[in-house]
């Protein structure tokens, strides 16, 4: 209904100049939901289960922001986007934030009118080959056919890497993630290249996961994180610190089960909004972080639930472990 009214209004008025510029937070609170751009189906990152409920670590960032701003982690409108349309959707205001395994690069950050609000998964482009080929390094891949997904940084990274190492290859480009894997699994190409996380999840979708090996070379840095429109600093802070809250919670050891436990750790009490007034600075109610952890969980919970070793995808924490555990996951302090 609302759409119809909006379109009627749009058709009549939009051709003459008028513009509504409200803060994103106010829009979100007025709408009662966060419009979050996600992938059209990437196992463990964002995909829908049988009842149409979205799950995944990218999805959890959206849910955290909804919990922070509206007090309800389910108040998210998920907008599935292809790689091609994701930035346009954010720029045009179709979505409030983008959490769609998007790599943070200077071009995207500086030239598209967008801001990356942090990193929720440190990835890197890797290669997977059939074990039977007996290859153990990516430098032996000369002459191979490589399966790539179109419209991603992977395509450009591969071209750069091959050029600098004098390696010749043929590329087999597909539009979707699923088709890329299907191509590889069927033997259309020798090598599958995508973000290493993707390789692990794709491996589980093959006929026999044990027949495939992921090569040790990582040819690029792919920090994946949520993105917002430029020019709304308050909203930028909310998204950034919602993510930071999840990471800090893991660091302090607060889980969704232990949010109500009152301790004498001042940082923990500050994080849970039981002391201090940091919530005023971001313009939210004092229980915003409490809602995130209670309803979505801390970073570790989200990771283990969606892509951790106990799931079919089975990714180890690796570089995504906390900085205190040998990884590079690091949140600025809540102070």
Partner 1 sequence: MAVFESQELRKPPISQVGIVHWLRANLFSSKVNVGLTLAALYMLYVTIPPMLNWMIFDANFNFGEFSFLGFEFGEVMATNVTCGRSAACWPFIYEKFDMFVYGFYPRDLVWRVDIVFAMAALLFVIARLVRNYQHKSRFFLAMIIGFPIASFFLIAGGVFGLEEVETHQWGGLMLTLIIASVGIIISFPIGVMLALGRQSDLKVINFFSTIYIEFIRAVPLITILFMASFVLPLFFTGGVDFDKLLRALVAITLFQAAYFAEVVRGGLQAIPTGQYEAADAIGLNYVQKNALIILPQALKISIPNLVGSSISLFKDTTLVLIIGLMDMLAMVNMTANDIHWMGRETEGFVFVTMTMWVFLYSMSRYSKKLEVRFSTDHKN
Partner 2 sequence: MKKDNTIISFLNNNETRAIAFQVITLLIIAFVFYSGIDNLIANIEAREIHTGFAFLSNRAGFDINESMIAYTPEHSNLRVFYVGLINTLVVAVVGIVFATIIGLIIGIARLSNNWLISKLAGGYIELFRNIPILIQILFWYNIALITLPSPRGSFNFFDSVFINKRGIYVPEPVSEPGFAWVLIAFVLGIILTVFMRRHFKKKHDETGIHTRTIGYTIGLVLGLPLVVFLLLGSPMHLDYPSLKGFNFQGGKTFSPEFLALTFSLSVYTATYIAEAIRSGIEAVDKGQKEAAAALGLTQAQSLKLVVLPQALRVAIPPTINQYLNLTKNSSLATAIGYPELMAAFGGTVLNQVGQAVEILGMTMAVYLVISLCISLLLNIVNKKMSIKGR
CB of 297 to partner 2, least distance (A): 35
298 touches 257 (CB < 8 A): no
Q: Interface with partner 2 includes 159 (CB under 8 A)?
A: yes
For residue 311, state whether it binds partner 1 (rule: CB under 8 A): yes
- The reply on whether position 273 binds partner 1 by CB under 8 A is no
Residues 6 or more apart whose CB falls under 8 angstroms from that of 233 comprise none
Nearer to partner 2, 183 or 194 (CB): 183
Indicate the residue among 50 and 164 with the shorter CB distance to partner 2. 164
On whether the CB atoms of residues 230 and 115 are closer than 8 A, the answer is: yes
Compute the distance between CA of residue 121 and CA of residue 33 in angstroms, rounded to an integer.
Answer: 24
The residue from 180, 183, 197, 206 that contacts partner 1 (CB under 8 A) is 206
Kindly write down the DSSP assignment for every residue of 271-325, as one continuous string. Answer: HTTSSS-HHHHHT--TTHHHHHHHHT--HHHHHHHHTSTTSSS----GGGSBGGG
Q: Residue 2: helix, strand or coil by DSSP?
A: helix
11 is a contact residue toward partner 2 (CB under 8 A) = no
In sequence order, the 6+-apart residues with CB closer than 8 A to the CB of 151 are 82, 83, 84, 175
Under the criterion CB under 8 A, does residue 255 sit at the interface with partner 2?
Answer: no
Element (H, E) at 119: none
Q: Which residues of 85-103 are buried (b: 16+ CB within 10 A; e: fewer)?
A: ebbebbeeeebbbbbbbbb
Q: Binding of partner 2 at residue 232 (CB under 8 A)?
A: no
Q: With binding defined as CB under 8 A, does residue 10 bind partner 1?
A: yes
| Residue with smaller CB distance to partner 1, 3 or 111 | 3
Rule CB under 8 A: choose which of 31, 77, 179, 278 binds partner 2: 179
Check binding of 224 to partner 1 (CB under 8 A): no
Of the candidates 303, 334, 325, the one whose C-alpha atom is nearest the C-alpha of residue 56 is 303
**Which of 26, 53, 170, 324 is in the footprint of partner 2 by CB under 8 A?**
170
* Residue with smaller CB distance to partner 1, 154 or 181: 181
Residue showing tokens 């180890």: 316
173 binds partner 2 (CB under 8 A): yes
Instruction: By CB under 8 A, name the binding residues for partner 2.
Output: 14-17, 83-84, 87, 91, 111-113, 142-145, 150-151, 155-156, 159, 163, 169-175, 179, 182-183, 186-190
Residues that bind partner 1 (CB under 8 A): 1-4, 6-7, 10, 14-15, 17-21, 35, 40-44, 47-52, 54, 77-82, 84-85, 88-89, 92-94, 175-178, 181-182, 185, 201, 204-207, 306, 311-313
């Amino acid at each position: 209904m609302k759409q119809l009214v909006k379109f009627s209004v749009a058709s009549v008025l939009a051709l003459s100049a008028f513009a509504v510029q409200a803060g994103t937070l106010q829009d979100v609170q007025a709408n009662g939901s966060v419009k979050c751009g996600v992938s059209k189906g990437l196992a463990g990152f964002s995909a829908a289960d049988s009842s149409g409920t979205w799950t995944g670590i990218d999805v959890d960032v959206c849910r955290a922001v909804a919990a922070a701003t509206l007090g309800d982690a389910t108040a998210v409108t998920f907008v599935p986007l292809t790689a091609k349309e994701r930035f346009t959707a954010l720029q045009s205001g179709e979505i409030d934030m983008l959490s769609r395994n998007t790599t943070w690069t200077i071009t995207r950050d500086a030239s598209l009118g967008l801001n990356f609000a942090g990193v929720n998964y440190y990835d890197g482009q890797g290669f997977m080959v059939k074990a039977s080929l007996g290859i153990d390094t990516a430098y032996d891949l000369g002459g191979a056919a490589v399966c790539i997904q179109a419209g991603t940084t992977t395509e450009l990274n591969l071209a750069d890497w091959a050029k600098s190492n004098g390696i010749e290859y043929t590329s087999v480009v597909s539009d979707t993630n699923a088709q890329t894997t299907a191509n590889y699994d069927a033997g259309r190409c020798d090598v599958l290249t995508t973000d290493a996380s993707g390789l692990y999840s794709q491996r589980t979708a093959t006929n026999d996961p044990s027949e495939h090996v992921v090569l040790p070379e990582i040819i690029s840095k792919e920090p994946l994180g949520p993105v917002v429109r430029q020019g709304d600093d308050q909203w930028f802070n909310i998204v950034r610190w919602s993510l930071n809250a999840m990471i800090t919670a893991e660091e302090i050891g607060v889980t969704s089960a232990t949010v109500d436990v009152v301790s004498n750790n001042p940082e923990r009490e500050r994080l849970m909004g039981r002391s201090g007034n940091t919530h005023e600075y971001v313009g939210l109610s004092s229980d915003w972080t409490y809602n995130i952890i209670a309803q979505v969980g801390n970073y570790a919970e989200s990771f283990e639930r969606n892509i951790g070793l106990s799931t079919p995808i089975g990714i180890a924490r690796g570089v995504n472990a906390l900085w205190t555990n040998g990884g590079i996951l690091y949140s600025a302090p809540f102070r």
